[in-house]
């Protein structure tokens, strides 16, 4: 395996997380497939394929839908590196390119592509090089400033990628760089996203991409009920997105899965109880037995977001 010797099963995530995390090893796993074809293009993110270099995430966002959901199950207790990902991706993209099945590759839908370990092993970077070679467009969703490291490859993709015919009139390049937020508030973000770069750092990174001609976006999701979903908070996020160069801002509510001790619903409720006890019963009532908020709440959230996007002349879709 090309994977660095030090990224071994016995390595604790303490080395990367900067905090106590006993029993959370970094594992190598081999996969049969790395590129997943969607049945139809995602209307929000415009992706035809998804690609996840890792399983698990070092950022430890307490609301992460991977905790307890069918997307990843109980994967937050460890970080797994798909050690043969580059070899598999070459084969899959070679076949897709031969058949001219070009489409946006979404990186990543169920993990952070720029985990702390990415600084050392550069798996995401290796995969981007392969994507650039076969001229596929990419849509990256991240909370990390490390994405700037790969700007050389992303420039090549942006300039040379082959777009699907129906998207050519709508997009000016083959790379979309989006940054994820649950709140624009630094203190609140530190509670719910303990290991992620601050909102300000993400915005500054996005601004740099915008200055270089990339299509950039803000994914204001998940919006936190009764914490970042007010008219004032949404307006603040929309204004920041506009001022820092986002071409669009996508807004969506929180989902909470599972009842196990490490599932996101359990973890989220415990966090609310600790920091915002007055909101606990209100939050539980909003979700009830479901994994999504009350439909009326979701409609009102969408209406607020759409109204504010119109007010500040920023798109609520990528294209």
Q: Residues 200-236: pLDDT tens digits?
A: 999 999 999 999 999 999 999 999 999 999 999 999 9
Placement of tokens 């076949």 in the chain: 95
Residues 6+ apart with CB under 8 A from 99: none
pLDDT above 70 (res 75): no
- In whole angstroms, what is the distance from residue 56 CA to residue 21 CA? 14
* d(C-alpha 83, C-alpha 71), whole Å: 20
Structure tokens at 188: 């609140």
| pLDDT band at residue 262 under the 50/70/90 scheme | confident
Alpha carbons 139 and 197: distance in angstroms, whole number: 20
Q: Smallest Cα–Cα separation from 112: which of 39, 17, 188?
A: 17
Output phi, psi for 173, to 5 deg.
Answer: -160, 175
Give the pLDDT of residue 214: 98
Residue 64 has which token pair?
Answer: 């992460």
Q: How far is CA 84 from CA 1, 29, 32, in A?
A: 7, 8, 9
Token pair 């920091």 in the structure block, residue: 275
CB under 8 Å to 271, separation ≥6 — which residues?
A: 62, 191, 192
* Rg (alpha carbons) of the chain, rounded to whole number: 19
- pLDDT interval class at 69 (50, 70, 90): low
Give the tokens for residue 92.
């899959």
Instruction: Provide the percentage of residues in the chain whose pLDDT is more than 90.
Output: 80
Asked if residues 265 and 257 have their Cβ atoms less than 8 Å apart, the reply is yes
Residue 163 has pLDDT above 80, yes or no: yes
Domains of the chain listed by start with CATH number: 14-311 (3.20.20.70)
The single residue listed with the structure tokens 């139809």 is: 40
Cα 163 to Cα 48, 105, 124, 149, 158, distances in angstroms = 11, 11, 21, 24, 10
Say which residue, 26 or 220, is predicted with more confidence.
220
Q: What is the reported pTM? A: 0.89
**Alpha-carbon span 280 to 271, nearest angstrom:** 9
When pLDDT is cut at 50, 70 and 90, the band that residue 74 belongs to is low
Cross-strand partners of 179: 142, 218
Q: In this structure, what is the dihedral angle of CA atoms 238, 240, 243, 246, given to the nearest 10 degrees?
A: -60
CA distance 175 to 185: 28
């Amino acid at each position: 395996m090309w994977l660095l010797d030090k990224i071994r099963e016995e390595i604790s995530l303490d080395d990367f997380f900067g905090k106590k995390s006993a029993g959370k090893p970094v594992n190598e796993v081999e996969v049969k497939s790395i590129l997943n074809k969607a049945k139809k293009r995602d209307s929000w993110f415009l992706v035809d394929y998804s690609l996840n270099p890792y399983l698990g995430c070092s950022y430890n966002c307490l609301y992460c839908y991977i905790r307890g959901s069918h997307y990843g199950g109980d994967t937050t207790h460890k970080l797994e590196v798909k050690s043969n990902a580059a070899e598999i991706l070459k084969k899959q993209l070679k076949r897709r390119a031969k058949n001219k099945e070009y489409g946006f590759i979404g990186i990543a839908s169920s993990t952070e592509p720029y985990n702390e370990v990415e600084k050392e092993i550069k798996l995401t970077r290796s995969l981007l090089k392969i994507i650039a070679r076969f001229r596929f467009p990419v849509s990256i969703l991240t909370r990390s400033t490390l994405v700037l490291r790969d700007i050389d490859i992303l420039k090549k993709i942006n300039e040379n990628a082959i777009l699907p015919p129906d998207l050519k009139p709508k997009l000016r390049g083959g790379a979309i760089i989006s940054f994820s937020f649950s709140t624009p508030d630094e203190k609140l973000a530190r509670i719910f996203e303990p290991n992620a770069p601050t909102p300000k750092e993400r915005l500054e990174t996005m601004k740099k991409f915008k200055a270089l001609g990339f299509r950039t976006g803000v994914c204001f999701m998940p919006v936190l009920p009764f914490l970042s979903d007010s008219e004032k908070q949404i307006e603040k996020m929309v204004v920041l997105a506009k001022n820092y160069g986002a071409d669009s801002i996508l807004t969506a509510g929180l989902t909470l899965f599972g009842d196990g001790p490490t599932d996101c619903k359990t973890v989220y409720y415990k966090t609310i109880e600790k920091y915002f006890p007055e909101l606990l019963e209100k939050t539980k009532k909003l979700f009830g037995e479901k994994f999504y908020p009350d439909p009326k709440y979701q409609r009102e959230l969408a209406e607020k977001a759409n109204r504010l996007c119109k007010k500040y002349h920023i798109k609520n879709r990528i294209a």
